[in-house]
Chain A
Amino acid sequence: MIEIRNLSKRFDSNIVLNDVSFQVNDANLVVVLGPSGTGKSVLLKSMLGLLPVDSGEVLFDGKPIQSASEREIYEIRKQVGFVFQGTALFDSMNVADNIALPLREHTLLSSKQVKERLCNLLEVVGMADKSHLYPQSLSGGMKRLVAIARALALNPKYLFYDEPTTGLDPLMTDRVVALIKELKKSQSNSGIVVTHDLETAKAVGDEIYMLKKGRIRRLARIEKESYD
């Protein structure tokens, strides 16, 4: 379980997160909805200790990340798969090496075992024939699928998606949404999806929160008026 307690973050006079509190229960996918520029990505990065917060804390299974040592933070992060909005794939590596990197860094798997796991992950995201390609020769949607495969490499307990469907065509959006739902069902991950897209939020979320003007509130149901 992830608990976010009274998280506040400002950039100069701009208050991005103001006393934000919520929790992500096990096997639950929480959607944080909000218009562009409201600080959804800042929320995710603050939760993982990538950005320092002004106050508040985030607990992963009771362990606070803000006061953890560097080694403890890395241990917590090993339980998290993160899909970046811009995918953040390593452009000096091909698809296979991108996905295999966490396995080579954090496990003692043999080359054969890494290859097997890699094939499995590529099958899951439907990119089995693209392993030799470099990110620059992939479409935006394909990059997103590779990023999801990389996030899954270490069998993480939590999956964080930062705008997983932004900029994708309708077909690819459906594919990514279906994959997120399928992963939740098959792997029972908990996670957070931040998005500004109402349809994605409706499709994948067990619980939905709205982040606006630094404040977060839970929505009983999503309507277009939620944005207003």
Chain B
Amino acid sequence: MNLFRFIGEFSSFFFRSIFIRWELRQTRYRIIRQVYEVGINSLPIILTVAAFVGLVSIVQTSYQVAGTMPRYILGATVSRMVMIELGPILTALMVSGRCASSMAAEIGTMRVTEQLDALEIMAIDPYRFLNLPRIVGMFIALPVLTVIAEFDALAVSGAYAHYFLDVPFGVFNYGLTHFFFTRDFFGGLFKSLFFSVVIATSGCYFGFKVKGGAREVGRAATYAVVTASLLVLVVDFLVALVIFG
């Protein structure tokens, strides 16, 4: 019962945040700021994680296929793994850890210090002022981050294959390009759009729900990350079922 109630509240919170007058004259700067917050500020951690994803992928794929298959298979396998699954999901999980918690903590603190009430009294809709820029900003930034992470992971795995596994760039690239399916790339990207929605909505939702003080703000940040991560996995399965199932 609680699960259904949560789904209902969460969905209506999202729709309430999006289906309003956007008033772009005032909102666009806050959207750009959120794109910067999510996109640029997450870049160092995303590049680092993606590099290790590329390294782990190439090492494990090489372990499984070495001596039994042609070497270009490394390029084909790693690229499909990264584009379909590892790139989108690990980027989303890193961003949810970094951004959902900070959104919940920031909005939660605004709630306990009456800043949300101040917005209401100034006749400024807090859903438009706080949620809309965060959701739209995440919707723009996360797919871009995902593409960057995928390029990073593939470049690092190609370099590792070249220098440590004796697989020339040309051979790795042959596997990568000849077994490239646009559906893999766009399927992964499509997932990241859904991920962006659940991550930003979780951060805002739990921030708005805060009642009390510092302990509740901390709790909201934790709930936001856990829920966002869980929803990313659920959405990943559902979208995979539709696109690749």
Contact = CB atoms under 8 A, between A and B. Distances in A.
Top 3 A-B pairs ranked by shortest CB distance? A88-B118, A74-B123, A88-B114
Given A84-B114, A88-B114, A105 B124 contact: yes
B113 A77 contact: no
A101 interface: yes
A75 B117 contact: no
Of the candidates B110, B117, B118, B121, the one having the most CB atoms from chain A within 10 angstroms of its own CB is B121
A75 B123 CA distance: 7
Nearest to A154: B122
Contact of A84 (B117, B123, B125): B117
Contact of B122 (A45, A86, A92, A102): A102
Interface in B102-138: 106, 109-110, 113-115, 117-118, 120-125
A90 interface: yes
B26 A88 contact: no
A50 interface: yes
B123 A82 contact: no
11 contacts: A48-B121, A50-B120, A82-B118, A82-B121, A84-B118, A90-B110, A90-B115, A92-B106, A102-B123, A102-B124, A105-B124
A96 interface: no
A104 interface: yes
Interface of A: 45, 48, 50, 74-75, 77-78, 80, 82, 84, 86, 88-92, 101-102, 104-106
A45 B124 contact: no
Contacts of B26: 104-105
Nearest to B125: A74
Nearest to B128: A105
Nearest to B114: A88
A80 to B, nearest CB: 7
B118 A77 contact: no
A61 B64 CA distance: 78
A3 B92 CA distance: 52
Given A104-B26, A105-B26, A88 B120 contact: no
Contacts of B109: 91
Nearest to A45: B117
Given A104-B26, A105-B26, A77 B121 contact: yes
Interface in B62-94: none
Contact of B113 (A78, A86, A104, A106): A86
B117 A77 contact: no
B115 A80 contact: no
Contacts of B118: 82, 84, 88-90
Contacts of A45: 117
A105 B122 CA distance: 9
Nearest to A85: B114
Contacts of B114: 84, 86, 88
Contacts of A106: 123
A88 B118 CA distance: 6
Nearest to B129: A105
A92 B109 CA distance: 11
Contacts of B120: 50, 77
A118 B104 CA distance: 31
Given A104-B26, A105-B26, A88 B115 contact: yes
B117 A101 contact: no
Interface in B1-33: 26
Nearest to B29: A104
A50 B121 contact: yes
A101 B121 CA distance: 12
Contacts of B125: 74
Nearest to A41: B114
A227 B45 CA distance: 60
Contacts of A78: 123
Contacts of A48: 121
A128 B46 CA distance: 43
A101 B110 CA distance: 16
A80 B124 contact: no
Given A86-B114, A88-B118, 17 more contacts: A50-B120, A74-B125, A75-B123, A77-B121, A80-B121, A82-B121, A82-B122, A84-B114, A84-B118, A88-B115, A89-B115, A90-B118, A91-B113, A101-B122, A102-B122, A105-B122, A106-B123
B44 to A, nearest CB: 22
A84 B125 CA distance: 18
